[in-house]
Amino acid sequence: MSNVQLKTYELIDRMHLAIRNARAVPLTGKVMVEKEEMETLLRQLESSIPNDLQQARDVLKDVQTLIRDSKEQAENLVKQANEQAQNTVKQANDQAQNTVNQANQQATSTVNLANQQAQDVTRNAGEQASAMVADAQARAQAMIADAQAQANNLVAESEIVARATAQAQEMLETAHRECEDYSMRVHASVTQMVEQADIALAQQLDSLRALHQEINMGR
């Protein structure tokens, strides 16, 4: 065994002896040692370490420092990557929400426009039907008045009035049938417009659902 090793073991023994002879701290498992004595022993122990071991210790410290710095850099990179990923997800969610809002607004506008058009068609149909009935009534009254005037000059006033009344009734019935036919056509047209609006709205909702699924899959 070399002198360096003997000196090292001797210093270690002295440190053990100092700890065994130290005064115990009551109610604890600790002891009180002389600071200066322990610092002197530690300095002597450090000076007894061979240069090769000291260089190895320095290299180990450098390696530990490098590992610590690399770990910090890796943690920073992971943190930056997480922040970037969160920002990307947030931007995608914001864009998807904007797309959904725009689609909802467009769908609402389409439904409102279809409803307005249906109301306009219904109102116009009612006005035209009323005008047709009023015109038929006016013509019937004119025919009755003309028939009554002619009855004064012809043989059978009652027969002429009956004929005029029958013709007027027939015209009124014809006018009512035309109004009903027109109303049915208008109702069919309005129903078709509403169905087309519903189909357009359903297509837009399907597109929104597909977009939402693509976004969820992208996450």
Residue 154: CB atoms within 10 A of its CB come to 11
> Where residue 52 falls among pLDDT bands split at 50, 70, 90?
low
Residue 45: partners with Cβ closer than 8 Å, 6 or more residues away: 8, 11, 12, 15
Closest Cα partner for 136 from 94, 159, 167, 99? 167
Residue 176: partners with Cβ closer than 8 Å, 6 or more residues away: 133
The CA distance from 77 to 161, in Å, is 104
The CA distance from 4 to 10, in Å, is 10
- Give the tens place of pLDDT for each residue, 70-96: 678 768 877 887 888 788 888 878 887
Could you tell me the two tokens for 106? 């467009």
Could you tell me the two tokens for 184? 């049915």
Judge residue 147's burial from the number of C-beta atoms within 10 Å of its C-beta, 0-12 exposed, 13-18 middle, 19 or more buried: buried
pLDDT at 165: 83
- Of 41-45, 83-87, 196-200, 214-218, which gets the smallest average pLDDT? 214-218
The CA distance from 117 to 122, in Å, is 9
Could you tell me the two tokens for 179? 């109004």
Instruction: Give me the residue spans of the domains in the chain.
Output: 3-62, 90-218
Question: Going by DSSP bridges, is the β-strand pair 31-32/23-24 parallel, antiparallel, or unpaired?
Answer: antiparallel
Share of the chain above pLDDT 90, in %: 0
Q: Give yes or no for residue 206 having a pLDDT over 70.
A: yes
Residue 27 falls in which region: left (phi positive, over 0), alpha (psi -120 to 50) or beta: left
pLDDT at 66: 62
- For residue 49, the SS3 value is coil
Judge residue 143's burial from the number of C-beta atoms within 10 Å of its C-beta, 0-12 exposed, 13-18 middle, 19 or more buried: middle
DSSP 25: P
What's the chain's average pLDDT?
Answer: 80
Q: Which CATH number fits domain 90-218: 1.10.1040, 1.10.10, 1.20.120, 3.30.420?
A: 1.20.120
